[in-house]
Structures are given as structure tokens and as C-alpha cells.
């Protein structure tokens, strides 16, 4: 196994901007999605899979989550070559018991597996009011908020906890070495006539590893208080996350983020998965996501007027005096919706390293993506 395969984080940060320079270039979303679809097909994906994965990655960029956007292909392509990511897999039901639904992913593209697993949970929640989903053995599932939106669009509430099985990236509270993944949590609530859907989606680390990769591509430092270097000292250099030995991300909010990250490993790993985040898996070079999700119908949750009560709560919170320079209180999901509208109009700003990566991966597979990325 090569060094790139041993360290998937390093694979995603190994490209230099080259002729594309260090500035940002806007690329139309439809052209970027077509470039990614071509690259995925050349790497072995069938047409439908290529479309699902490409749309998911570009949607992450559109919503401002560049850490989970098309830059992830630098990690996916070597994983395919190493047999750690298997194209054209589908979600498989491996167990049912009452409201509990267990789904296996066969190391397939998480964007496909998690969407299909959530479709199964949505079907069950609509039929029975509740689904408790455990998804295991999926490659990186991408932006978890996408699956929250999938549920809220179906009129359902979702709570999702994900554990990230790969090289540890996050130090425990008061620790100096990484032991946990970035372990995201998502809570989504359907919208009403007066209130847009609420989608809370965040890593339990102070920052995502992908945001360090993006900062490296832009030649920027990280903000203070996010990173430790390999010696356990504070640093603002994003490159420490791609060294051997690596640095560490700090947990979000100190002991609180650490507790949430640990519980993601407990719920999605130790309790829900046949393959929890043991050291043997964390050192294997693969990236695996397990997810524990509760999906339910709010209309069957005991409060028939939940929508009116939600509207009242949101209106009350919005009616708050704001600090100078802020026009209004924003609900979870609104910043992403605003960014999406702006990037659809103006293009998705990509740094030179990301553009060089897409161009290089395409040429390795006999593709010239330059015109689409121009």
C-alpha cells in the first residue's frame, strides 16, 4: 500500500496549484458537475452512480461546504485503486427488528449508500411513524446535512450521528494526540408554511479536516484555537494535519464537543455497527462511515399542532435585537441556502489546487476537463 493510500487525508491535500495559481476561479455548477460525472464514469461508476455522487459533491460546494465538495475526489480516486472504495454498490438490508433497520454499504460510495439507506428509513417512518437506522460499512458519506434535507423534504424529523473510521484527527479534551474522528451530527426538522426547514449539521471537532485542506489550497492559516501540532502545541498551520506524525484538531467547545464526538463513536460505532472505530480500522488507510439515525413523523409524535408551535418558537427567536452589523437572526440551514443562491448566480469559487487536482485526475484517465473547468 502506498503512502497516499495509508493516509487518505494526505491524498486529498497532495496537489499543488501549478498553472492555476493561488487565486479563486468561479466555475458554473452545471459545468463542474459534468466534469465530475465524467471523471467518476472513467473511474468505473455507472451513469446513475456518477450522477448521484457528482450532484452531492457539487451541492456541498454550492452550500459553502467546500471541505465536503469536489475536492474529496483526491481521496476517492486512490481509494478505488486500493480496493477500499468499491463503485456500483447499493444499500443492503441486513436486519430488521421492530422499528430497527440495519443496512450495510459494502464499502460503496457513501453518497449512494446513505441516500438509499435513508430512503428505506423514510419509507418505514411514513408507514409506522418511526425508523431507527444503523448504517455500517459505507465509504465517506459526504455532507450529512444532505440526508437531513432528504428527511425534512419528506415531512419527517431526523437525528443522525456519524462516526468516522480512519486515521484519528481529533484530540480528546485536555489531550494532545488525535484519538477520535470529526464525527458529525445532523438534526433536521421539516418546514411549515411560515418557517423553512431547519437543518443543523456540524462536525464535533472545532473545524473539519477538509477545511484545513481548503486553507492549504488557498495558502491561508487557520484561526487560532483550532489545531495542535504533532508536539501538542497550538498552531495555525493547516499542514500539520497532513504530516506523519500528524497534528490534531481540537474538539468543538472543549469538553462538550469531546463528549458529543465520543457518543457518536458509541452510537454509530460500538452500538450500531459491526465494525466500530477500533485502532486496527483507524490505521488501515480506509475511510469508513457508520451512521445511527432516528427518523420519525412529527404528526404522530403526540403534538398535533407541532407546526404552529414551531412557527411561534422561530418567530420568538427571530424577534431578538442583533449585534451591530447583523441584520437578522438566522436559523440553521439559512446561511447555506443564501450561499447556494449566490454561487448558482456567480459560480463556485475553486482554488488553484482543487482545479489542478481535477485536471490531473482527469488526464490520468484520458480526459481533458479543461474546457469545463474554465
* Residue 26 near residue 374 (C-beta atoms within 8 A): no
CB atoms within 10 A of CB 179: 18
Q: Please tell me the distance from the alpha carbon of residue 297 to that of residue 13, in angstroms, as a whole number.
A: 41
One CATH from 1.10.1530.10, 1.10.10.10, 3.40.50.300, 2.60.40.10 for 3-84+347-373: 1.10.1530.10
Find the helix or strand (DSSP H, E) in which 340 lies.
helix 334-346
* Residue 181 near residue 263 (C-beta atoms within 8 A): no
Find the helix or strand (DSSP H, E) in which 162 lies.
strand 157-165
Mean predicted confidence (pLDDT) in 155-160: 98
> pLDDT of 331-357, one tens digit each?
999 999 999 999 999 999 998 889 999
pLDDT tops 60 at residue 1: no
Q: Please tell me the distance from the alpha carbon of residue 87 to that of residue 47, in angstroms, as a whole number.
A: 11
Q: Which residue has the higher pLDDT, 164 or 87?
A: 87
Mean predicted confidence (pLDDT) in 154-159: 98
pLDDT at 214: 82
One CATH from 3.30.1370.60, 3.40.50.300, 3.90.550.10, 3.40.50.10320 for 92-205+251-300: 3.30.1370.60
| Paired sense of beta strands 288-296 and 157-165, if any | antiparallel
Find the helix or strand (DSSP H, E) in which 202 lies.
strand 198-202
Domain ranges of the chain: 3-84+347-373, 92-205+251-300
pLDDT tops 50 at residue 114: yes
> pLDDT of 205-221, one tens digit each?
999 888 898 888 788 99
pLDDT tops 90 at residue 284: no
Report residue 57 CA to chain centroid gap: 9
Give the pLDDT band (50/70/90) at residue 166.
Answer: confident
Q: Please tell me the distance from the alpha carbon of residue 74 to that of residue 10, in angstroms, as a whole number.
A: 9
Size of the chain in residues: 374
Give the pLDDT band (50/70/90) at residue 4.
Answer: very low
Mean pLDDT score across all residues of the chain: 91
Mean predicted confidence (pLDDT) in 20-30: 85
Amino acid at each position: 500500500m502506498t503512502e497516499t493510500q495509508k493516509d487518505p487525508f494526505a491524498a486529498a491535500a497532495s496537489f499543488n496549484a501549478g498553472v492555476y495559481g493561488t487565486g479563486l476561479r468561479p466555475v458554473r455548477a452545471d459545468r463542474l458537475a459534468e466534469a465530475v460525472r465524467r471523471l467518476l464514469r472513467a473511474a468505473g461508476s455507472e451513469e446513475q452512480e456518477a450522477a448521484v455522487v457528482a450532484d452531492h459533491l457539487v451541492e456541498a460546494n454550492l452550500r459553502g461546504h467546500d471541505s465536503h465538495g469536489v475536492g474529496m475526489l483526491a481521496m476517492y480516486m486512490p481509494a478505488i485503486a486500493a480496493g477500499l472504495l468499491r463503485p456500483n454498490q447499493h444499500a443492503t438490508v441486513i436486519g430488521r427488528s421492530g422499528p430497527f433497520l440495519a443496512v450495510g454499504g459494502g464499502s460503496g460510495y457513501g453518497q449512494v449508500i446513505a441516500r438509499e439507506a435513508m430512503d428505506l428509513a423514510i419509507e418505514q417512518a411514513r408507514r409506522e411513524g418511526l425508523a431507527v437506522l444503523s448504517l455500517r460499512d459505507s465509504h465517506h458519506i459526504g455532507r450529512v446535512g444532505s440526508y437531513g434535507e432528504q428527511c425534512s423534504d419528506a415531512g419527517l424529523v431526523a437525528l443522525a450521528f456519524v462516526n468516522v473510521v480512519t486515521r484519528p484527527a481529533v484530540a480528546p479534551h485536555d489531550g494532545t494526540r488525535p484519538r477520535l474522528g470529526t464525527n458529525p451530527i445532523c438534526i433536521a426538522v421539516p418546514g411549515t408554511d411560515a418557517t423553512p426547514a431547519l437543518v443543523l449539521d456540524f462536525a464535533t471537532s472545532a473545524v473539519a479536516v477538509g477545511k484545513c485542506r481548503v486553507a492549504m489550497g488557498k495558502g491561508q492559516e487557520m484561526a487560532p484555537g483550532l489545531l495542535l501540532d504533532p508536539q501538542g502545541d497550538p498552531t495555525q498551520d493547516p499542514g500539520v494535519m497532513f504530516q506523519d506524525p500528524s497534528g490534531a484538531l481540537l474538539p468543538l467547545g472543549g469538553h462538550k464537543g469531546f463528549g458529543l464526538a465520543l457518543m457518536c463513536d458509541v452510537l454509530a460505532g460500538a452500538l450500531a455497527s459491526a465494525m466500530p472505530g477500533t485502532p486496527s480500522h483507524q490505521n488501515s488507510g480506509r475511510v469508513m462511515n457508520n451512521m445511527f439515525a432516528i427518523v420519525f413523523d412529527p404528526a404522530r409524535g403526540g403534538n398535533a399542532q407541532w407546526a404552529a408551535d414551531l412557527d411561534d418558537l422561530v418567530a420568538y427567536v427571530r424577534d431578538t435585537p442583533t449585534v451591530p452589523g447583523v441584520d437578522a437572526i438566522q436559523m440553521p440551514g439559512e446561511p447555506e441556502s443564501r450561499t447556494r443562491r449566490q454561487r448558482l448566480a456567480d459560480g463556485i469559487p475553486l482554488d488553484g489546487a482543487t482545479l489542478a487536482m481535477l485536471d490531473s485526475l482527469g488526464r490520468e484517465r484520458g480526459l481533458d476537463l479543461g474546457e469545463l473547468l474554465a
